Structure 1
């Protein structure tokens, strides 16, 4: 019999897929009603997603650590950030087409990674690991939003802003892209710091230059370069947006193509 957390994640994945389609319909038909319904459904999806994360946490007796749990939690953070941002900046609502497309795929993939609840070894029962994971997926949420804004930027360039009020101007997209990258950059730094402290606590070494550490540091430096070019050299528009389009795939590579945790040792 399927557990409650799996059923909730399945329902959330299906709902996010439907929301993605509603955004597509809204963009193609240029009718805001599809966008409005999609956002309302997004709040329901967030509730289901959060319930799944909480139930799994209570069942396991520990915070998210394996990829099924991490992906569910990361999607929850990303969705919450999007829903908060679209309330604050109405012109950026249509970036939901990227956000919900990404989250639907990630949740669908997560279902193939489901594992039962397992007891963690002592080295993983650390508050620093919790802080490391939380800051990592908070950074991911901010970077995903900045990537979505860059996608919208080039969509507007190629197709025009259309006749619905949910389209943003280039200056606004530059501004929020930088704000989101800056927030992600800080969270990313906290991820590196807390990860180093946890590694010292668990294995006696702050840094070992393994692939995860090295690629994560390179990604952080790339986003630092983005901010430097914006504030020091006045980069705006196309050049700035291309950088976020190029940087986010590296984040995806770091999070999912390079193993984050030695799961076999749990």
Structure 2
């Protein structure tokens, strides 16, 4: 089962975040930038966390910033890490860097160097890329980041099978906010201020292995149901889909 999420430029209040949680949303992608009306602030991070929304951080100043290549990536990575620390984003959670345009094959070397440099500049934060099918595919082939958020825009009907997040619909008015709709497929790299020490998928799956052994060792249905519930709680805490 995919995790239900959305992204938006509009800062959210606690009341608005509560409405989205009640509508079934698990996570929200927000802009990790130092200034401007769309930025994620420390106060908003608290409100989202208290409402129970997981946060996905994305750095974007201008849509084609990635064309600046290595120098732009180093500068943006350093800035993103500083902003993340200032709002309390825990180390070990992910920062995505946006490639928010229809990148061509001739532009891909610059895009790859941008993401590579951003990753080098954020050693305590895993990095990801947001972009079209050809962008996430090329960046993954270059092994310059660890997380992938694909948009259907400019993807011409193709969806990669390795992505963590998929943006499948844009510009939807919902609950008084203009949003894009996303699905999460596990290991999204999200964070909250109420779970700063996020459980890693590897550690969660090790514990789930012990629960699975206990599940198989009993025929008591109530116990099996509880082992299954606990396993899914571990999956949720580590950003993985429930089973």
* TM-score, length-scaled by structure 2: 0.29
* TM-score, length-scaled by structure 1: 0.27
Looking at secondary structure, tell me which structure has more helix per residue: 1
